[in-house]
Amino acid sequence: MGLGISIIREEKLYRRLFFAGVVNGIGDRFSSVAVLAMLLHITGSGMAVGVTLAIRLIPSLLFGPIGGWLADRFSRKAILVITDLIRIVFALSFLMVNGKEDLWIVYVSSFVLAAGEAIYAPARKSSIPGLVKKDQLVKINSLEQVMVGIVLIGGAFSGGIVSSIFGANVTFWFNAVSFLGAALITSTIAFPKKNKEGKANEAKKGNPLSTFKKVVLMSAPIQLLLFCEIIIASMNGIDNVLISVYAVKEYQLGDVGVGLFYGALGIGLMLSFSAANRLRKNYLLTGLICLMLEGTFLFLLSRTHLIVIAFLMFCGAAFMTGIGNACFDTILMKEIPEEHQGTMFGLLATIGNTLLGISMFLSGFVLQYLAPRSLGMIGGIAYILVAILLMAVISTKAFKRRGTI
């Protein structure tokens, strides 16, 4: 991590964006854990939890494209600051929930908070190439995985502990303060001005879907990564559902086990930086190899009955995820024209989150008829087969003629 710290010190503009993301993310995770625990306490059933999780997915479908469209046309700095400030009010609204009659507050606020994140995310991601040196992109994208790891450990894992000791209200206040802190940090960043006016005018023509089609058709790597995004999101729902099922049902660890396994994911993502920052080329092939190895870890996870081995398998899978994501994001940032990055990242997030939600729903349904370990094994094998298929595609002469990265 020494190199990571040196990069953060060197890239002063990104450093502030990084810390704003950490502060924002940890606060949001704290609140999410507390909200779900509060719902279980008030209702005594998982129905309200399921409704809340479903509500959180809807805004990504509705506001993801809007967020990307806004990021390409207006100040990304203003978008980031305003969305953080607006979310403060709704983060505090959970304090007013005292019984079942107040559940509507949870649903409305969860929707608005998720909508804010759907607008915030593409603006933040599309800002990165303009804040850092181009030759540092893969290292910066691997640091983004480190940030996710920090948020998982500091937010999801610690959030449950803080909520149980100090109560849910403390975490709601913490979330509100984190949004304010992130907004203040972001407000100090000197974002570069939009590129040439001609590019801005070009971006204003057409709708997001026409822009999406235009950009996808101009690049073979983008086409392959779009297919990869669709397939991975369709399988990721299995992992998201199984992490809790493994902890509670297979290993009998309860909520502590859920936090433990999320902590393992965080550790794996943080460690991935040590490998990803050494990459200089062949990002596409490296990313696909990592996808195959991730599937291998998930397959082995479905076969083990030892908690320690399961913890290590989660670490290994997240390690490969971190490297793969850094590779794929670097390709996208290099291939997608700057004036279209907001729109593209917004639509890609919309596609991914929508498929993830469907995948989680179907995985939960399938678990009524299939053992968790069997579903996990199928998911792991699917990752491996998809990676092998895509590696075969990029090895063809036709793909090589169109160019790869």
Over residues 83-127, the pLDDT tens digits come to 999 999 999 999 998 888 888 998 899 899 989 988 998 889 888
pLDDT of residue 378: 94
pLDDT of residue 311: 94
Per residue in 201-256, pLDDT tens? 544 555 677 777 788 887 788 888 888 888 888 888 888 888 878 887 888 887 67
- Tell me if 291 sits within 8 A of 232, measured CB to CB: yes
pLDDT of residue 197: 47
pLDDT of residue 377: 94
Q: What angle do CA 5, 9, 274 make, to 5 degrees?
A: 25
Q: pTM, whole model, 2 decimals?
A: 0.78
- What is the number of alpha carbons within 13 Å of residue 394 lying toward its C-beta? 24
Indicate the helix (H) or strand (E) that contains 369: none
- What is the number of alpha carbons within 13 Å of residue 190 lying toward its C-beta? 2
DSSP per residue, 267-280: HHHHHHHHHHTT--
d(CA 129, CA 195): 12
- Residue ranges in the chain whose pLDDT is less than 50: 197-199, 202-203
Sequence-ordered list of residues with C-beta below 8 angstroms from that of 365, at least 6 positions apart, any chain: none
CB atoms inside a 10 Å sphere around CB 279: 18
d(CA 396, CA 383): 21
CA distances for 338 relative to 246, 284, 331, angstroms: 42, 20, 13
Tokens for 129, please give them.
């190439």
Domains of the chain with CATH codes: 2-402 (1.20.1250.20)
- Tell me if 118 sits within 8 A of 60, measured CB to CB: yes
Q: Is the dihedral of CA 45, 176, 353, 33 positive or negative?
A: negative
d(CA 14, CA 8): 7
- The dihedral over CA atoms of 288, 289, 292, 297, expressed in degrees to the nearest 10, equals -130
Instruction: Using alpha carbons, select from 345, 350, 347 the residue that is nearest to residue 59.
Output: 350
CB atoms inside a 10 Å sphere around CB 264: 23
- Tell me if 131 sits within 8 A of 12, measured CB to CB: no
Query: Residues in the chain, how many?
Result: 405
